Amino acid sequence: MSGPNTNYDPVEVSALDPANVDSAVQEALAAIAAAASLDDLKAVRIAHQGEKSPLALANREIGALPPSAKAEAGKRVGQARGRVGQALSARQTELEAERDERILVEERVDVTVPALRRLTGARHPIELVAQRLVDAFVGMGWEVAEGPELESEWLNFDALNLGPDHPARQMQDTFFLDPVDSGLVLRTQTSPVQIRTMLEQEPPIYIVAPGKVFRTDDLDATHTPVFHQIECLAIDKGLTMAHLRGALDAFVRIMFGEDTRTRVRANYFPFTEPSMETDFLCFACHGEETWGSAEPCRTCGGSGWIELGGSGMVNRKVLRTCGIDPDVYSGFAFGLGIERALQLRHGVQGMHEIVEGDIRFSQQFGMGA
């Protein structure tokens, strides 16, 4: 580098010659444009912007100029370095964008290969159907009641107006415990839960009782010795069969859709008087009578209606047994088999798959049915 020299003519310092500066810029711009990668650009940056680049060297020469020449030379070199810097930065951005694009392309995978690397669990649909019904009734202000599966005979039969000689008691095929005089059975219905509730709770009572029940039936397409019921009981002042029908209507709408409705007829159950049998409009064929036709409805068998189950106004004897004054309170009860609801709602044809515990059955339903 030259020392300060007042006689020095800047025009004669070749590095600061406008043409040379311009050429250095042009060379730099060409090199920048030619840089194909960020690494190239890095080399270009060192060559054209680094300490030993022509423009840096030129810049250093400025200091040796006489003050009168410094301003012009400084401006020229400064502009030149500015142009190179801008070009570098623009190319840097461009190349980074290209690289980013490329990485995304390079990192592409086939996301359709199996992704689940662990077993997936599932709930049993019987539980899900029960939960669904329970939730709907809880939403309407009812509460859930439960009781033991191994139950006293008195609560399972006698208190429900099924005395030891009642013909209806013989209809039930009961699992008795050994010794038989223990007075204990596997409950044949969820109704003892109703008795327990009425014995212990003051009306008004609005309960829904889901649970497991037992009968001595061998497993076949329509029977299983262990199955599930859900029963509803309401005890309040002024309840009538119209309220019972209203609750039944709500029940079938929840389970089978808004389009369905009920029809009712008399029946007999010891626990209730008057008693009622309910059918609901087939949700599959909407009540078109297809009986005897070439293709009768597979859901209802062609009658257009599906039997729901028994119900009625709680027998006054039962209320008295539970310490509830039948002249003050009335109430109703109804129930149905959850297996059947599952079969109807989800097209389950038989009983075996429900009870066998084959994981493929539960897994169809996931965590909510």
Partner 1 sequence: MRTPLSWLAEYTDLAPGARGADVAASLVSVGLEEEDLHGGDITGPLVVGRVLELEEQVQKNGKPIRYCVVDVGQNGQMLTEGKHQEIVCGATNFEVGDLVVVVLPGAVLPGGFEISARKTYGRMSNGMICAEDEIGLGHDHEGIIVLSRLLGEERAASLSPGDDAIALLGLADETVETNVTPDRGYCFSLRGLAREYWHAQGSPEGGFRDPAAVVAPDANGDGYTVELKDDSPIDGNEGCDRYVARIVRGIDPTRQTPSWMARRLTQAGMRPISLAVDVTNYVMLAVGQPLHAFDVDRLSGSVVVRRARVGEKLTTLDDVERALNVDDLLITDGGEQPLAIAGVMGGASSEVSDTTTDVLIEAAHFDPTTVARSSRRHRLVTEASKRFERGVDPKVTAAAAQLAVDLLVEHGGGTVDPGVTDVDRTTDRVAYRLDVTEPSRIVGVDYARERVVGILRDLGCSVDEQGAGTDDRHILVTPPSWRPDLVDAPDYAEEVARIDGYNNIPSITPTPTEGRGLTHAQRARRVVADALAGFGLTEVLSYPFVAEGLADQLMLPVDDDRRQAVRLANPLSEERPLLRTSILASLVDTLRRNVARGQKDVAIYELGLVFRPGGPLGTAPIPSVATRPDADTLERLYAAVPAQPRRAGILATGQTEPAGWWGPGRAADWSDMVAAVQTVASALAVPVVVANDPGHAPWHPGRCARITLLDGTLVGHAGELHPKVVAALELPARTVAAEVDVDVLIAASAEPVQAQAFSTFPPALTDVALLVASDVAAADVESALRSGAGEALESVSLFDVYEGEHVEAGRKSLAYRLTFRATDRTLTTEEVNGFRDAAVASAASATGAVQR
* β pairing state of 143-144 and 205-214: parallel
CB of 244 to partner 1, least distance (A): 8
161, 290, 311, 343: which one contacts partner 1 (CB under 8 A)?
Answer: 161
Q: Does residue 231 bind partner 1 (CB under 8 A)?
A: no
Question: Which one of residues 119, 258, 295, 328 is an interface residue with partner 1 (CB under 8 A)?
Answer: 119
How far apart, in whole angstroms, are the C-alpha atoms of residue 173 and residue 218?
A: 11
204 contacts partner 1 (rule: CB under 8 A): yes
Calpha distance 208→362 (Å, rounded): 25
Minimum CB distance to partner 1, residue 304 (Å): 12
Instruction: Compare residues 1 and 116 and give the one whose CB is closer to partner 1.
Output: 116
Nearest of 311, 310, 287 to residue 299 by alpha carbon: 287
Tell which residue, 218, 247, 253, has the closest CA to residue 231. Answer: 247
Q: Which stretch binds partner 1 (CB under 8 A): 5-13, 53-61, 87-95, 171-179?
A: 171-179
Q: Does 367 bind partner 1 (CB under 8 A)?
A: yes
Instruction: Determine, following the binding rule CB under 8 A, whether residue 141 of this chain makes contact with partner 1.
Output: yes
Per rule CB under 8 A, is residue 117 in the interface with partner 1? Answer: yes
Select 95 or 168, whichever has its Cβ closest to partner 1.
168
**61 CA to centre of own chain:** 75
Return the DSSP state at 51.
Answer: T
DSSP state of 21: H
155 binds partner 1 (CB under 8 A): yes
Site string for partner 1, 269-288 (x = CB under 8 A): -x--xxxxx-----------
Residue 293 binding partner 1, by CB under 8 A: no
Single out the residue of 86, 188, 209, 94 nearest to residue 142, CA to CA: 209
Q: How many CB atoms lie within 10 A of CB 207?
A: 21
Of residues 18 and 366, the one with the C-beta less far from partner 1: 366
DSSP 148: -
End-to-end CA distance of the chain: 86
Q: What is the largest CA-CA distance in the chain?
A: 137
Cβ neighbours, 10 Å, residue 175: 15
130 near partner 1, rule: CB under 8 A: no
Query: In angstroms, what is the minimal distance from the CB of 363 to partner 1?
Result: 6
User: Taking CB under 8 A as the criterion, which residues in 250-269 touch partner 1?
Assistant: 250, 262-268
Q: Residue 139 class from Cβ within 10 Å (0-12 exposed, 13-18 middle, 19+ buried)? A: exposed
Tokens 């010794």 locate to 179
Nearer to partner 1 among residue 67 and residue 357 (C-beta): 357
Binding residue for partner 1 (CB under 8 A) from 107, 218, 258, 295?
Answer: 218
Does residue 316 belong to the site contacting partner 1 (CB under 8 A)?
yes
Tallying the residues shown for the chain, one arrives at: 369
Is 321 among the residues that bind partner 1 (CB under 8 A)?
yes
Residue from 73, 126, 129, 369 in contact with partner 1 (CB under 8 A): 126
- State which of positions 339-358 bind partner 1 (CB under 8 A): 354-358
Measured from the CB atom, is 4 or 268 closer to partner 1? 268
Cis upstream peptide for 326 (omega within 30°): no
Residue 185 near residue 176 (C-beta atoms within 8 A): yes
**298 touching partner 1, by CB under 8 A:** no
Which of these segments, 4-12, 21-29, 38-46, 319-327, binds partner 1 (CB under 8 A)? 319-327
- Judged by CB under 8 A, which of 186, 230, 333, 338 binds partner 1? 186
Which position has the token pair 């212990």? 200
